[in-house]
Structure 1
Amino acid sequence: MLAPVQTPALQTNASPLWARVQNLGLRTVAVMGMTKNTGKTVSLNHLLAQAQSAHVAVGLTSIGRDGEERDQVFSIPKPPVMVTPGCLVATARDTLLRAKVRTRLLGGTGIESPMGEIVLVKALDAGEMEVAGASRSHDQHRVIALLRQCGAEIVFLDGALGRSHHASPAIADGVVLATGAAIGGGVQDVLRKTRDRLAILGIAAAEAALAAQVQPAFDCAGVGVWDRAGAPVFLEPIATLNAAPVLLGLGATDVGTVAVSGAVARRLWQALVELLQRHPGLTLVVGDGTKLFIDAIDLATFERQGGHVRAMRAIRMAGITLNPFSPFGGSFDAHEFLAQAQLALPDYTVSDVQLTAA
Structure 2
Amino acid sequence: MAGGDCVGVVGLAKNCGKTTTLNALIGAAAGRKIAIGITSGGRDGELCDAITGLPKPPINVPRGALIAMADFTIGRTSCQLEIVQRLGIHTTAGEIVIARARSSGQVEVIGCNRASDLVRAISQMQKLGAELTLVDGAAGRTFLASPDVVGAFVLAAGATLDTDARGIAEATRMAVHIFTLPPPSPAAASRARPAMESGTSLLNRAGGRVEALPWPTLLGREQRLVSMLDPGDLGLVCARAVGDGLLAALTSWLARRRPDSPAFTVVAADPSKIAAGDRTVQAFESAGGELRVLRKAHVVAVTANPSSPSGETLDPAGLVIEISKQVEEMPVFDIAAELSASGGVMR
Give TM-score scaled by structure 1 length. Answer: 0.86
What SS does structure 1 have at the residue aligned with 2:228?
coil
Task: Give deviations 1:79-111, integer Å, cap 9, x for gaps.
Answer: 001111111110000100111111111111110
2:45 partner letter: G
Amino acid at match of 1:66: D
1:223-234 mapped onto 2 (5 Å cutoff): 223-234=201-212
Partner of 2:40: 62
Among 328, 339, 343, which residue is 1:346 paired with? Answer: 328
2:148 match:
170
Residue matched to 2:103 = 125
- Give the Cα–Cα distance (whole angstroms) in 2 for the partners of residues 344 and 197 of structure 1: 11
Cα separation, partners in 2 of 1:247 and 1:133, compared to 1, 3 Å: same
- Decide whether aligned partners of structure 1 residues 251 and 198 sit closer, same or farther in structure 2, where only a CA change above 3 A counts: closer
Shift of 1:323: 1.1
Moved more, 191-200 or 129-138: 191-200
Report the Cα offset of residue 297 of structure 1: 3.5
Cα 1:52–1:244, aligned 2, differ >3 Å: closer, same or farther?
Answer: same
Distance 1:301 1:261 in 2: 22
Aligned residues: 336
2:69 is matched with 91
Aligned to 1:334: 316
Greater alpha carbon shift after TM alignment, 297-306 vs 274-283 = 274-283
Gaps of 5+ in 1: 1-21
SS of the aligned residue for 1:337 comes to: helix
Do 1:224 and 1:236's aligned partners in 2 also have CA atoms closer than 8 Å?
no
Which runs of 4 or more aligned residues in structure 1 lie more than 6 Å from their structure 2 counterparts after TM superposition?
none
The residue that corresponds to 1:314 in the other structure is 296
Aligned match for 2:26, one of 45, 48, 52: 48
**Matching residue's letter, 2:266:** L
Q: Spell out, residue by residue over 1:122-181, the C-alpha distance to the aligned partner (whole angstroms, 9 max, x if none).
A: 112221101011101111111111111111122111111222221211211211111122
SS in structure 1 at match of 2:288: coil
> What's the % identity of the aligned pairs?
31
Using the TM superposition, name which of 242-251 and 78-87 deviates more.
Answer: 242-251
Q: Is the 8 A contact 1:169 1:315 kept in 2?
A: yes
Choose the corresponding residue for 1:283, options 265, 288, 302.
Answer: 265
* Distance in 1, Cα, partners of 2:231 & 2:320: 51
- Output the CA distance in 1 between the equivalents of 2:239 and 2:62: 38
1:245 offset after TM fit, Å?
A: 4.7
Gap change, CA 1:357 and 1:299, over 3 Å in 2: closer
Q: 1: distance between equivalents of 2:224 and 2:64?
A: 52
**Contact 1:173–1:315 (Cα < 8 Å) also in 2:** yes
The equivalent position to 2:281 in structure 1, one of 293, 299, 311, is 299
Please name the residue that 1:12 is paired with.
none
| Residue identity in the other structure for 2:272 | T
Deviations 1:229-259 (A, max 9, x none): 3332115561232552552352549632211
How far did 1:197 drift?
2.4
2: distance between equivalents of 1:266 and 1:36?
Answer: 21
Q: Which moved more, 1:181-190 or 1:110-119?
A: 181-190
The verdict on how the C-alpha distance between 1:169 and 1:190 changes in structure 2, with shifts beyond 3 A counting, is same
CA–CA separation in structure 2 for the residues paired with 1:285 and 1:35 = 26
Find the residue that maps to 1:169 and give its secondary structure.
coil
Query: 1:82 pairs with 60, 64, 77, which one?
Result: 60
Question: Which sections of structure 2, spanning at least 5 residues, go unmatched?
Answer: 341-347
2:183 is the counterpart of 1:208: no
Q: Is the 8 A contact 2:16 2:158 kept in 1?
A: yes
CA RMSD of aligned residues (A): 2.3
The alpha-carbon deviation at position 301 of structure 1 amounts to 3.0
CA distance in 2, matches of 1:71, 1:297: 28
Q: Write 1 or 2 for the structure with the bigger share of strand.
A: 2
In 2, are the aligned partners of 1:220 and 1:236 still within 8 Å (CA)? Answer: no
Q: Which amino acid aligns with 2:295?
A: R
Assess, with a 3 A threshold, how the Cα gap between structure 1 residues 256 and 110 changes in structure 2: closer, same or farther: same
Contact kept in structure 1, 2:40 and 2:110, CA below 8 Å: yes
In the superposition, relative to structure 1, how do residues 226 and 336 fare at CA in structure 2: closer, same or farther (>3 Å)?
A: closer
Q: Does 1:159 align with 2:141?
A: no
Distance 1:308 1:353, change over 3 A: same
